[in-house]
Amino acid sequence: MIIPKRLLVLRTDRIGDVILSLPIGEQIKKNFPDCYVAFMLREYTIPLVQNHPYFDEIIVLEEDKNKKVSLLKNIRKIKQFNFDSCLIVYPTFITSLIIFLSRIPNRISTGYRWYSFLFNRKIFEHRKYAEKHELEFNLGLLRVFGIEEKYSPAQIEFNLQVNTVSRKEVLKKIYASEDDDGKPIVIIHPGSGGSSVDLPLIKFEEIIRWLTINHDVKIILTGNDNEWDMCERLKVSSDIINLAGKISLKELIALIDNCFIFVSNSTGPLHIAAALNKFTIGFFPKILACSAERWGPYSTNSAVFKPEIDCKDCSREQCIRLDCMSSINLNEVFKVIDNKLKTLIRNGVLNDE
């Protein structure tokens, strides 16, 4: 068994992936309280780890303006910290080579990549079969440190921090007047950045129309720069605000922390909402690689909807061809939202006006 004293956690992909790696910090500190733990990630995901109570250092991956990873700059940076162990949670060839050439003694990652010879502590699990959740796969790497636990959403804390200045800034953008202030916020995030097969836009429009008719809520549309036009098409009412591409990641975290319901496809912000314990509704295809079983919200405060069409051996091509996501029953979605809002009113969280 390895006893880490200076550990680097390397996760250099996207928002949701970083979120699902955050619990590693707490598990390490719980078992090895004196261990120095650093998290290495891409610059745009820094707000996900800032002020995290279980990470001692944030290290930014060195990239040029074209997002090409610098081999030498990263090696020089990492060597300064004298790490004895590294969890390469998301391995790529270049980052794995960086860790190897940085001469970190214990290099822990999957045993199923062609470049796995760069690791000397291998975990043999195929994630593509979705036999468990991505978060549990991430925590499974800790077996090399003798940490072998069964995890469940009820016991996991993400410790995602909300920036107070960003909270004030983003609330200014959505509440135009005092009369408007106080309406419960419902966030609709219709894109996924291509990481999954999405619920059709017309279905999101149905959800939004139903909300505007049945509940007095503040509907906010979110997305990236490329999704602004998509979100603009969902503005069925002048009261709906489109913030796609208009707010920073810090502001998005703060906005989600102020919402009551978050509705989206499989995407990073969904995991932000789940990490903040917001009621999260997610739409997922049956494709194993992007299924709810592997990528769903890791939370007890959530609802997941999948296609009702009867199909087998689902692939992205088949899912698109059969238009599987259109078979999701929105009446069931409406019931879940309705029940949640009524429960919040009954518990005194929302006003019944």
- Would you state the pLDDT for residue 257? 97
Query: Position 59: which residue type?
Result: I
Q: What angle do CA 140, 92, 274 make, to 5 degrees?
A: 50
> What whole-number percentage of the chain has pLDDT above 90?
80
- CA-nearest of 288, 294, 281 to 318 is 288
The CA distance from 318 to 113, in Å, is 27
The structural domains of the chain, ordered by start, are 6-143 (3.40.50.2000), 176-346 (3.40.50.2000)
Determine contact, residues 268/189, Cβ cutoff 8 Å: no
Tell me the per-residue pLDDT of 53-97, one tens digit each, with 9 for 90 and over. 999 999 999 999 899 999 999 999 999 999 999 999 999 999 999
**Buried-state track 258-278, b at ≥16 Cβ within 10 A, e below 16:** bbbbbbbbbbbbbbbbbbbeb
The side-by-side arrangement of strands in the sheet containing 218-221 is: 241-242, 218-221, 185-189, 259-265, 279-283, 302-305
Per-residue pLDDT for 176 more than 70? no
Tell me the per-residue pLDDT of 293-322, one tens digit each, with 9 for 90 and over. 999 999 999 999 999 887 777 777 777 787
> What mean pLDDT is predicted for residues 197-224?
95
Work out the pLDDT band at 287, boundaries 50, 70, 90: confident
Q: Report CA-CA distances (Å) from 168 to 44, 50, 163, 171, 174.
A: 21, 18, 9, 5, 10
Per-residue pLDDT for 180 more than 80? no
Query: What DSSP string runs through 211-251?
Result: HHHH---EEEE---GGGHHHHHTT--STT-EE-TTTS-HHH
- Which residues are paired to 86 by β-bridges? 8, 107
Q: Tokens 């494709």, residue?
A: 287
